[in-house]
Amino acid sequence: MYAATVSAIRLVLFLCLTGVVTSASAAASDWKAFVGTYSGTANAQTSSGSQSRDMAVSISEIDDGFRVEWDTSRLKPTGKIKRNSYSIDFAPSDRAGIYASRMAPGLFGGRKPLDPLKGEPYVWARIEGKTMTVYAMLIDSTGNYEMQVYERTLVADGLDLHFTRYRRSQVLSEVRAVLTRKKPSSY
């Protein structure tokens, strides 16, 4: 009886450890398919009409996760070019397919998410199948929230981008584009 119990416990421990290792390696590799540099032109729909934007996205491997960098530029009615650039590091969380942002310095030198109650965006990423979604939640001074959702789906030539910006469930702007993967240059 004792030997059977010990064997059963060993089997359960083995299965648990095998499952954890399998989940960890699956989580570590699911973002690797997205690694690359992509660019294209998007059509943005806002309350003031339609507007063209040049976009670039770079997804790269870092220590224990990945970095997403993106750049958007558009021509303002004044003739000036408005450019926005962002860079966010992500690390696996304890939940499969969900990644925590690492944007602010932590107490002991590590990096952690920003604090939305201080007016900073709270950002996380999720990968499901061929889609990497980055969420950014902001809380304004009145306590209302804004969500920005960046869905990037792998397609044959690159990424299908769908960006939506919401405030209190109302769509404020929407952008769609297919960004072409740039081939690495060979020396």
The pLDDT averaged over each successive group of 10 residues in the chain (187 residues) is 40 36 45 94 76 91 91 85 90 92 61 65 92 92 90 94 89 90 65
- Would 6 be classed as within a structural domain? no
**Whole-number pLDDT of residue 42:** 87
Taking CB atoms within 8 Å and a gap of at least 24, the contacts of 125-131 are 125/68, 125/90, 125/98, 125/99, 125/101, 126/97, 126/98, 126/99, 127/30, 127/31, 127/34, 127/97, 127/99, 128/97, 130/33, 130/154
Query: Within a domain: residue 9?
Result: no
Sequence-ordered list of residues with C-beta below 8 angstroms from that of 63, at least 6 positions apart, any chain: none
Q: How far is CA 77 from CA 80, 91, 132, 137, 179, in A?
A: 7, 39, 33, 29, 25
Residue 144 placed within a domain: yes
Q: The domain that contains 140 carries what CATH number?
A: 2.40.128.20
Whether residue 46 is contained in a domain is answered as yes
Which ranges in the chain belong to alpha helices (H)? 2-29
Q: How many domains does the chain have?
A: 1
Q: What is the pLDDT of residue 117?
A: 64
- Any domain includes 72: yes
The answer to whether position 11 is within a domain reads no
| Residue 92 included in any domain | yes
**Which residue range(s) make up the domain with 155?**
31-181
Note whether residue 140 is domain-resident: yes
